[in-house]
């Protein structure tokens, strides 16, 4: 299927895609806050600049878009029909970078949870997932 938009229109649309404070991220933050968890955001001193950081639990959460990070088995993670070579390379780099950042975080003692865009629809399940993840962590005594 050909793109409905011109190249210029597509470029403008794609330039508006945000990396921080996205709707899925805001939903996860809201659920975590309502559950009583306190956190910091986008810590540049940690690999991958995690979206949500729970220093007390030495745990981080990445909120990934299903398309941009290629959520396996998700209907939103389709490959674009145009410029296949470009998109395959770009999305592969994203997945490789994600894996490398998770590995680096584990190596320095941080626990990592990835929450996918498609998982945020059900807030109760999301709250339960966060609770299970953070309850497995023991609060750290070190100050960050």
Tell me the CA end-to-end span of the chain in Å, nearest whole number: 50
Distance CA 93, CA 90 (A): 5
Residues of the chain with pLDDT under 50: 1, 141-144
Distance CA 114, CA 110 (A): 13
CATH number of 17-135: 3.40.960.10
Q: Measured in whole angstroms, how far is the alpha carbon of residue 82 from the centre of its chain? A: 25
How high is the pLDDT of residue 7? 75
How high is the pLDDT of residue 138? 66
How high is the pLDDT of residue 18? 67
Collapsing DSSP to helix, strand or coil, 73 comes out as: coil
Domain spans of the chain, in order of start:
17-135
């Amino acid at each position: 299927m050909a793109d409905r938009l011109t190249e210029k229109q597509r470029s403008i649309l794609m330039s508006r895609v945000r990396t921080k404070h996205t709707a899925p991220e805001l939903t996860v933050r809201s659920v975590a806050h309502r559950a009583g968890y306190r956190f910091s955001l986008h810590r540049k001193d940690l690999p991958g600049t995690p979206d949500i950081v729970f220093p007390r639990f030495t745990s981080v959460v990445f909120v990934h878009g299903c398309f941009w990070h290629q959520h396996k088995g998700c209907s939103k993670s389709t490959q674009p029909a145009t410029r296949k070579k470009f998109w395959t390379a770009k999305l592969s780099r994203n997945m490789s970078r994600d894996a490398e950042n998770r590995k680096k975080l584990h190596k320095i003692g941080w626990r990592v949870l990835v929450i996918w865009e498609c998982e945020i629809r059900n807030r109760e399940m999301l709250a339960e997932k966060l609770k299970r993840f953070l309850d497995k962590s023991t609060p750290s005594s070190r100050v960050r």
